[in-house]
Structure 1
Amino acid sequence: MRWIAHIIVNAVLLLALAGYFQSIHLSGIGAALVASFLLSVLNIVVKPVLILLTLPVTVLTFGLFLFVINAITLWLTSWLMGDLFTIDGFGAALFASLAISLFHMVIDAISNND
């Protein structure tokens, strides 16, 4: 159940980011839900491999390289979605990954405060 809520929150966040920034494009709510689901699957499958491969860089940057890994998975999601979800450039993907991470930190802090 928590995973489904996470997908819905990510979909809403992707819609908000697409509404505010011209470099992120979504074709609609359905595309946002599919992109959020695909991003979750990539975070489960691809992200651990990327973390393992880039572990020395991640350690040297005190974990900040994880934002780059998040941007890579978001950009890969965009590439797999085709015209339904596009991100114009890696900088936009990096900014979106920062925004998503910040939002989830706030949500986790609020939900763990109960």
Structure 2
Amino acid sequence: MLKFIVRILINALALFVAAWLLPGIEVGAAGSSGDTTEVVLSYLFIGLVFGIVNALVRPIVALLSLPLTILTLGLFTVIINAGMLMLTAWLTSFTPIQFSVDDFFWTAVLGSLIISVVSMVAGSLTGTRR
């Protein structure tokens, strides 16, 4: 259970860094006053949704796209990660807490690269890296 909570915190941190660096990624609650507590809870919620998407959907997509991943020497995983980020944005459009990624696909690709790097570094520091 502790490892799961740490993964949510790492996802939230990675999403925060991506939103901070890229103007096309935004997180906010509907009717939010911008209070620090609301912002932190918003990122934790989005981190939870992103973690669930990565745990449930990503392995299926990775398995189905295995021939293409092998053909591109693993570079297709960047596109899969961007797709998971866009799926998270779509899923959270049905919740009070909104996570949006620009329609421009390259924003999602850059965001997924940033999230991957931050998650890798934070996972290595906390010892939860897979």
What TM-score comes out, normalization by structure 1 length? 0.87
Q: 1:75 aligns with which of 71, 74, 86?
A: 86
Give CA-to-partner distance per residue, 1:63-111, whole Å, 9 cap, x none: 1111111111111001111261100032111111111112233334445
Q: 2:59 aligns with which of 31, 48, 72?
A: 48
Cα distance in 2 between the residues matched to 1:68 and 1:105: 18
- The higher relative CO (CA closer than 8 Å, separation ≥ 6) is in 2
Cα distance in 1 between the residues matched to 2:17 and 2:114: 11
Give CA-to-partner distance per residue, 1:16-50, whole Å, 9 cap, x none: 22123210001122221111111111111111110
What is the identity, as a one-letter code, of the residue corresponding to 2:114? A
Cα distance in 2 between the residues matched to 1:93 and 1:64: 15
Tell me, yes or no, if the aligned pair for 2:10 and 2:123 is still in contact at 8 Å.
no
Tell me, yes or no, if the aligned pair for 1:58 and 1:65 is still in contact at 8 Å.
yes
State the partner residue of 1:10.
11
Deviating above 4 A after TM superposition, structure 1's stretches of 4 or more consecutive aligned residues are 108-112
Cα distance in 2 between the residues matched to 1:23 and 1:50: 25
State the partner residue of 1:96.
111
Show structure 2 runs of 5+ residues with no match. Answer: 29-38
Structure holding more helix per residue = 1
When the two chains are superposed, the root-mean-square deviation of aligned CA atoms in Å is: 1.7
Q: Percent identity?
A: 35
What is the identity, as a one-letter code, of the residue corresponding to 1:44? A
Cα distance in 1 between the residues matched to 2:23 and 2:5: 28
Cα distance in 1 between the residues matched to 2:70 and 2:8: 29
